[in-house]
Structure 1
Amino acid sequence: MLQRLVITLFFLMPFVHSAQNFSALWQGHYSYLNITDIAEGNGKLYAAAENAIFVYDLQTAEIQTISTVNGLSGEIISQIYYSAFYDKLLVGYNSGLLEIVSDLGNEVLTVVDILNKTTIPPTNKRINHFNEYNGLLYIATDYGISVYDLARLEFGDTYFIGNGGAQVIVSETTIYNDYIYAACQNANGLKRALVANTNLIDFNQWSLVGAGDFSAVTAFNNQLFVLRNDQFLLNEINGNLNPIRQFNSLPVDMRVVNNYLIITQANVSYVYNENFSIVATVPVSSEFNSNYSAALVSGPHVYLGTNKFGILKTTLEEPVMFQEIHPDGPLLNNSFAVGASANNLWLTYGEYNLTYNPGPLQSRGISHFVNGENWVNIPADSVLGARDLNKIAVNPFNPQQVFISSFNDGLLEVNRNVPTVLYNESNSGLESLILPGAPNFKSIRQNASTFDKDGILWTMTARVGKPLKSYNPSTGQWQGYDFLDLIQRGLDEWGYDEIDIDNNGTKWIAGYKFGLIAYNEANTGRKIANISTDEQNVPSPFITALAVDKNDQVWFGTTNGLRVLYNTANFFTDRNVRAESVIILDDGTPSELLFQQFVSDIEVDGSNNKWISTIGTGLYYFSANGQETIYHFTEDNSPLPSNIVIDVAIDPASGRIYIATDRGLVSFGSGSSETKESLENAYVYPNPVRPGFNILEEKVKIKDISENVNIKITDIEGNLVAEAQSGINSRFKGYNLEIDGGVAYWNGNNLANNLVQTGVYLVMLSDLDTFETKVIKVMVVR
């Protein structure tokens, strides 16, 4: 039965810091379906989902999430543990990072001693297991065992227990009969030493109990149980290891919880009582076909971590019916492309590589964030066989109709969250690439696509004679356009990363080998042109990002820097066209903006400012001309889980920025939405402004304004309180009244820079182009 529960060393001096909480402006949109570890404590279940955590209250069934927005690092979690005595959640990472979470994510302490230890190779720092004993936390890692004092929050000794004091992988530790046992890998065996020994840093104090590779060790009901990599479960009697049973595959987890020994394989979990009798066998259900990662028992229930369905809850007595538990979220964290329309976001999971190779082909489904509230996930088996889904185009005249490119199978049409048509060579104007000597080979490699102002879809097909296709969803008519004047053989251009259309109908296209390409079928003369060489100031012919701004200037990124084409009008006629670098002053010295950086995406917001993402240095927000850096977000100063930013999308209604990284999706409430054609629907919020509202920081918003507007705020007697005008009082300049795209922000101050008194205020809007006016009343209560 399917039930869904979705609630909307030598480390003597510890080096720690408290992480910031960014929840005011940021939101995390992580997938919580792939569970890497689980823990229980304080009446709650803790589940680690790759690089975020959710907390499930065992009594109330409420769910809370802890992510980078709350201060977690965003790195990949390898192990979690809850200390009941200290009321803290310990989070260990593949990188060796340790984080200590208190008060359900309100405070995160980051401990970087292991991470920063230069004597340990970076690949050997993984935290494998936590074992608490007498206030000390024994941390099993890929180099040995480190001891952490939970009361003092500092590291003590580190034990390198290999032969000659070598670093060895320790999978787990446990305390049994006054000894600390360590399960080691790479033929380093099962070792033990007296836990009270004050000289455990001496490898000679550790003796070998059994040879081989060991993945787990735990004490249960006055016995020691050990998992060996040959799939044998053994127990220790008088210093000897005795086999109990052999599993058909190596268990992925063994733990003792609430007087039960639980051994979990990828496809089944066994629960043993104190007499070592099986009280429950929980195989993977056909309804929830996935792999288990861990399991625990609490009360009458078994909770199982899976790689596809979050936590599955069933009963110990009759484990045949399952309840699915996880927060709402997308299918996966490794999104390949994001596409936004008003209050909606779409995610795909790709993929093709940097040389536009689609293999190995992947079928991964689609995610849709609806109205900024709920996720609708379309599974891989529902996308009509389309693989390597990538670029997204939403019909501006019918937002329920979305076209998603497949880099092998054509173009997928989705209507109201239901995939309805897969366009290919048999039912559309699309065509497959043709490989010499392989007449039966089929691969329709769609990527870049966009809609024009008339509702016509323009899409690019790689490695064919007519790469540019247009499709009218209203009439079903297809049209193909060849690039023969530039690309003599379709096979010569491997892919097209982006396409955007300017006010003249010119299609600006990001090529792989041919650089920046422009095509306009309406031209009477030359229809296609490009720039791609050093002489044209293009640092690489591989264009990785492209956007036409509100001035019809083309901003484009490459694997090796950023360029701008300022004069687009003569691109087809001037044979000496050059792109320009953006030159800024860095401490008085001229320098090139984003010099030699890999630019992955460029988005233009309602104020003509530029959001530019990079592979390796995070996300930038620049002023319209690039001369001012408004924000530079990295994983060190923001909730970005990674500095590798794959794609960015802007919700035109809210101005919210959705940022897809290689380790998950987050969003930032920038507030810069698109301008409107008229002032008809302009409004003010909050209204009224109540005493509890922090007007100085959160500000009163005047939304849905037009592009060229003057705003005056007066009191009821007509005295001017504040004034702003588009292009003059822009945001981030410190004005009391600022304009940012389709939104204006008032901090509540008057012309004397004093906070206004309680009263009714008039917001008078005047469109400077159409002379349209509108007056809105707003009540301020202090």
Structure 2
Amino acid sequence: MGDLKKYFPESIGLKSIFKCCGLCMLMPVFLASAVGDWQSFASILNWDPLIWKNDTLYAGSSGGLLRLSEEQFEVFTNSDGTLSHAKLSALFLDDEGNILAGTGAGKAIIDIIDKNGRSRHLDLGLNEITHITGNGANVFMAAIKGLAPGIAHLLRVGDEYIFRDFFDQFPMQISRIYQLALLNDTLYAGTNQGLLRTDIRQPNLKPASAWERTATSIGSAEVKVLSVFDGNLFFTLGQNLCLYENGQYSVEKTSLSATSILTFFKYDTTYYYSQSATVYQRDNTGRRWHTDFIVPGPVISSEICGDDLVLGLQNRGIVKLNLRGEILHTFIPDSPFSEGYTSMAKGGDGTLALANYAGHSLLRKGRWHNLIRSNQHTAIHSQQSEAFSADTLAYTVIGLPLVFDVLISSNNILYTSFQGVHIDLARINYAPVVKPGPVFYVNLDHYLDYGILDTTNDLFDGSEASTAGSAQYVVSRGMAEGKDGSVWIINAHASNGEPLIRILPNGEKIKYSVAESGDKLQVLGREMAFDERNRLWIANQSHRENQPVTTGGITIYDLVRNEWFLLTTAEGLVHNDLFSIDRDIDGSMWVVTAGGVQNILSPATLSSGNFSTVMKNNVRPPLNGLGDVNVSKVRIDSRGNKWFLTTDGGVRIYQRNGVWFNKGYGYNMQNSPLLSDVVYDAVFDSQSGKAYLLTSEGLNTVITPWADPIESEDKIFAYPQPFRPGIEPRLIFANIPDQSTLIISTVNGRHLLTLPPTDSSNQGHEIHWDGRLDNGQFLNRGVYLYFVYNVDGLRFTGKIAIL
């Protein structure tokens, strides 16, 4: 938070988005300091739609509701309780200043934020909300319910909105309603089958007969965009720009782009539309449209703000221009640059790295920095902006390969493995700076030190041995770092039978073959982990139907003795098809198989003579409690809690004490601000207890009770001070040592309350107290003492003030 110049240096042209030049603008700051606090992160670079009202600009984004005024920039998400979900798909402001937002992914909720900032949420059983429009008393929402497109109708009664009906019967069968528009008492709906309209004064809009297909005289293509100005309706009909005026339909312009987003706006008496990076102006006399000016990127939204124009640019925030096309200011907020991240890693310095095929987003000390892939241009900036921050690295990825794994090594090298990448240069029409390959690397201390690991010197091998494989198609999967700093990488489907690569700290590379392992090493490894004795465990895919035929199971490689072992159902695995593996703090291994989750003790020694006998005693039965979800990965935090990531139920957490967290439900979309029940990855900050959860809809963080043990009472404190019971939700006693008891008394020593370690208020390294005594009454105003002690003899005394 601070002066605008601090966050938007003049070198990038960001003085202010408003008229006044000396403004102070606040950047979004996400504070999550107490156990149970959540944050939601997704890209906030695409502002759509834009709404200007009362000198404030509102916008929707994948990362929340954005509000920009002369004084501050704010982001509202589900983690602060404003929205039901951070992903906002539709936005409407009524004439009283109430905000209606369509949010969610897969399940859509209508969030209503009144002019005083209070939120309430309407669940109408919708799957998606695509557009909202309304007048003084009515709000209409284009939506999907089940598989059926329709229109939800809300009525405003006083200060409340109530649901009236859902309309899904129309004169023709449609699969999509794109936008809605109200022209006086006529509601228009742009659909994939043309333009619909109805008179909203009719008593019943449910039957198909209440709706009319219109504009058929000029065509029957899809209608994606609708805008009303001065009693006229502008709309797109296929690739035509059309006008409804004085009861007549006409085609104003033909040959619009079929793929670019189109937006309308009007200033004074002149009409405009934008498409791609061009703004067109209408000659109202001759009714001709001509190019007015070019903007620095594809336009996705537009809004007139006073005498100026604000455009939302694809992945570039917003730009403010005058009506001559001269750029006045640009606003690109601090944000990850993209969406669709599928894997992440955390470095020793706390850097969090998210990855997809288009690049990486790094979260460092609360700020994002992006390393964006460019086909031909590298640009590293000597000074990074405290607003949107990015560099570009020139390397090539053909197609849209899935990122399988990300690793930040102990020497701060970021590695990213691609599960399937074409390295055939004939498939691209330019000479890349760095040619394609299955593993990308970059030195996080020096971004110019980057590159691609490929088939050069036979390091990686193509997949021609697999069904429909090709020597030009290379697959890499899991990665792991050994105690000596070596980085190990799986080259799945390797046709030469060398599916395991080791990169030594000095850069030397070693390959391991199926043959030299005695067929214990498999060509379809998925994930890897080292046990406490530096033995490498590889979770293998079982592939029995066609080539390459693999057994699966777990390959174990003893580096010291150079011995290989294969653990299968013969030793007690419930299934040979393994998805994930991780090491527990007690040295045992946890695996996710197609038949369930198992714990495997890691023996002190292994030998080929007794391997099967020893491991039969070390493989535990499947863990109960996960039968209702599809587990895809296991990740284990520094306190030994097992986090089972699922594709349909969020995260289940099996605590070290053998108790399922939150009665077995863990974190999901129903009981927490988790952005999606599809969770791709999880990493942990042991010092703070923060868990990072990468989902299909963005990144969540949550402060858990499982930070590293606190072994001193020196940093205990209580906040907020003074505390107002019943107004503020909780008084937090922070930096509490493990197994601590809290006692509250008067200053003269009269006992008032004891909270033992087993109390629900104890959140590990924090105690959360609502201000109530055992009799249910709030503690009276005054100054009180609190005492903290634990079984190890730690003692602390402090004071709290109650208002």
Q: Which bracket does the TM-score occupy, shorter chain normalised?
A: 0.7 to 0.9
User: Structure 1's 166 and 554: CA in aligned 2 closer, same or farther, altered over 3 A?
Assistant: same
Aligned to 2:547: none
C-alpha separation in 2, matches of 1:489 and 1:529: 6
Aligned to 2:545: none
C-alpha separation in 1, matches of 2:140 and 2:770: 55
Counterpart check, 1:374 vs 2:367:
yes
1:500 CA drift (Å)? 1.8
1:624 CA drift (Å)? 1.2
**Corresponding pairs, count:** 696
Aligned to 1:780: 799
C-alpha separation in 1, matches of 2:52 and 2:80: 23
Aligned to 2:108: 97
C-alpha separation in 2, matches of 1:158 and 1:550: 54
Secondary structure of 1:641 counterpart: coil
TM-score between both structures, scaled by the size of structure 2: 0.75
Q: Which amino acid aligns with 1:648?
A: A
Aligned to 2:694: 660
Q: Deviations over 1:533-572 (max 9, x none)?
A: 3x54434433222111111111111344211113544665
Matches within 5 A, 1:98-497: 98-102=109-113, 107-115=118-126, 126-141=128-143, 143-151=149-157, 152-160=160-168, 162-163=170-171, 169-176=176-183, 178-186=185-193, 189-211=194-216, 212-213=220-221, 214-229=223-238, 231-237=239-245, 239-250=247-258, 252-256=261-265, 261-270=271-280, 281-285=292-296, 289=297, 291-320=298-327, 323-326=330-333, 328-341=334-347, 344-350=350-356, 363-371=357-365, 373-381=366-374, 382-385=392-395, 387=397, 388=401, 389-396=403-410, 398=411, 400-407=412-419, 408=421, 409=437, 410-416=439-445, 418=447, 420-422=449-451, 424=453, 430-433=459-462, 435=464, 441-442=471-472, 445-464=475-494, 465-473=497-505, 475-484=506-515, 488=519, 493-497=523-527
Secondary structure of 1:391 counterpart: strand
Give the superposed CA RMSD.
Answer: 4.4
Counterpart check, 1:7 vs 2:27:
yes
Aligned to 1:650: 684
Tell me, which stretches of 5 or more residues in structure 1 are unaligned? 9-21, 116-124, 351-362, 584-591, 767-772
Aligned to 1:529: 565
User: Structure 1's 27 and 428: CA in aligned 2 closer, same or farther, altered over 3 A?
Assistant: farther
1:529 CA drift (Å)? 1.8
C-alpha separation in 1, matches of 2:200 and 2:788: 75
1:309 CA drift (Å)? 1.6
1:598 CA drift (Å)? 2.9
Which of 51, 67, 70 is equivalent to 1:55?
A: 67
Aligned to 2:386: none
1:217–1:227 contact (8 Å) kept in structure 2: yes
User: Structure 1's 43 and 482: CA in aligned 2 closer, same or farther, altered over 3 A?
Assistant: same
2:87–2:104 contact (8 Å) kept in structure 1: yes
Secondary structure of 1:70 counterpart: coil
Q: Deviations over 1:551-606 (max 9, x none)?
A: 111111134421111354466533143432355xxxxxxxx231374323322223
2:52–2:304 contact (8 Å) kept in structure 1: no
Q: Deviations over 1:503-543 (max 9, x none)?
A: 2111122222222222111126xx2223333x544344332
C-alpha separation in 1, matches of 2:212 and 2:469: 66
Which of 604, 627, 649 is equivalent to 1:595?
A: 627
Counterpart check, 1:30 vs 2:59:
no
2:182–2:228 contact (8 Å) kept in structure 1: yes
Matches within 5 A, 1:571-650: 572=607, 573-576=610-613, 577-578=615-616, 579-583=619-623, 592-595=624-627, 597-624=629-656, 626-630=658-662, 632-650=666-684
Secondary structure of 2:209 counterpart: helix
User: Structure 1's 454 and 634: CA in aligned 2 closer, same or farther, altered over 3 A?
Assistant: same
1:23–1:69 contact (8 Å) kept in structure 2: no
Q: Percent identity?
A: 16
Q: Which amino acid aligns with 2:462?
A: L
1:30–1:329 contact (8 Å) kept in structure 2: yes
Secondary structure of 1:215 counterpart: coil
Aligned to 1:538: 573
C-alpha separation in 2, matches of 1:146 and 1:710: 53
1:364 CA drift (Å)? 1.0
1:33–1:307 contact (8 Å) kept in structure 2: yes
Secondary structure of 1:347 counterpart: strand
Secondary structure of 1:684 counterpart: coil
Aligned to 2:6: none
- With 414-423 and 333-342 compared, the bigger mean Cα shift is at 414-423
Which of 90, 93, 96 is equivalent to 1:82?
A: 93
User: Structure 1's 107 and 390: CA in aligned 2 closer, same or farther, altered over 3 A?
Assistant: farther
1:711 CA drift (Å)? 7.5
- With 419-428 and 234-243 compared, the bigger mean Cα shift is at 419-428
Q: Which amino acid aligns with 1:34?
A: N
C-alpha separation in 2, matches of 1:337 and 1:217: 39
1:245 CA drift (Å)? 1.8
Larger RCO of the pair (alpha carbons < 8 Å, separation 6+): 1
User: Structure 1's 445 and 233: CA in aligned 2 closer, same or farther, altered over 3 A?
Assistant: closer
C-alpha separation in 2, matches of 1:615 and 1:317: 50
C-alpha separation in 1, matches of 2:140 and 2:212: 18
User: Structure 1's 306 and 466: CA in aligned 2 closer, same or farther, altered over 3 A?
Assistant: same
1:210 CA drift (Å)? 1.9
C-alpha separation in 2, matches of 1:132 and 1:440: 56
1:162–1:203 contact (8 Å) kept in structure 2: yes
Aligned to 1:684: 715
TM-score between both structures, scaled by the size of structure 1: 0.76
Counterpart check, 1:669 vs 2:677:
no
User: Structure 1's 256 and 734: CA in aligned 2 closer, same or farther, altered over 3 A?
Assistant: same
User: Structure 1's 442 and 322: CA in aligned 2 closer, same or farther, altered over 3 A?
Assistant: farther
